[in-house]
Amino acid sequence: MAGLGNITVLVVDDNFHMISIVSTILKGFGVGHVLTAKDGATALELISASDVDIIFTDYRMDFLDGEELVRLIRNSGDSTNRFIPIIMLTGYSELKKVRAVRDAGIDEFVRKPVTPKEIYAKMVAVVNRQRPFVKSPSYFGPDRRRQNKPLGGRADRRKND
């Protein structure tokens, strides 16, 4: 993935050390602009004031957590970019929480502790293998299906395909 010098990445985490680690990794990849926020409310301010290309956010934070942040970005009427790639970074990897953030509209999920290899792989995924967005009464975000498999004879499952 070349040309990272012109992109802006926002790292949202209430842990200063995690912000420092992820920012250092991103800068090592050549990311030109790394913005940071300690909570979701500050992140929303930065998103509306800056041209952010990718967001890395923690799950659990005070004031506005990662899941709420994703829901606001994806569903709020005043969201400046509902399609921005969002990668969740968290130590909370129980299936219930993974499903909750998936259903909020994240693009990718990274379990802490993070590695440069995993961060890079997720960045490549959101840039080079973007999934189409889906809108339904209860969901707006990237298509949750990872593979383009036939529906196994049940054509009525996805009427809009």
Question: What average pLDDT score do residues 54-70 get?
Answer: 92
Q: What is the pLDDT of residue 152?
A: 56
Could you count the other beta carbons within 10 Å of the beta carbon of residue 155? 10
Q: What is the pLDDT of residue 145?
A: 73
Q: What is the pLDDT of residue 154?
A: 55
Question: What average pLDDT score do residues 72-84 get?
Answer: 89
Residue with tokens 């590695």: 115
What CATH number is attached to the domain comprising 119? 3.40.50.2300
Tell which residue, 61, 56, 68, has the closest CA to residue 104: 68
pLDDT above 70 coverage of the chain, percent = 89
Tell which residue, 70, 54, 58, has the closest CA to residue 16: 58
Tell which residue, 105, 112, 106, has the closest CA to residue 87: 106
Q: What is the pTM of this model?
A: 0.85
Q: How confident is the model at residue 120 (pLDDT cuts 50, 70, 90)?
A: very high
Tally the domains of the chain.
1
How far is Cα 32 from Cα 26, in angstroms, rounded to an integer? 9
SS3 17: helix
Q: What is the pLDDT of residue 1?
A: 58
Instruction: Domain of residue 111: give its range.
Output: 4-157
Q: How confident is the model at residue 144 (pLDDT cuts 50, 70, 90)?
A: confident
pLDDT value at 158 more than 70: no
CA angle 2, 82, 61 (to 5 degrees): 90
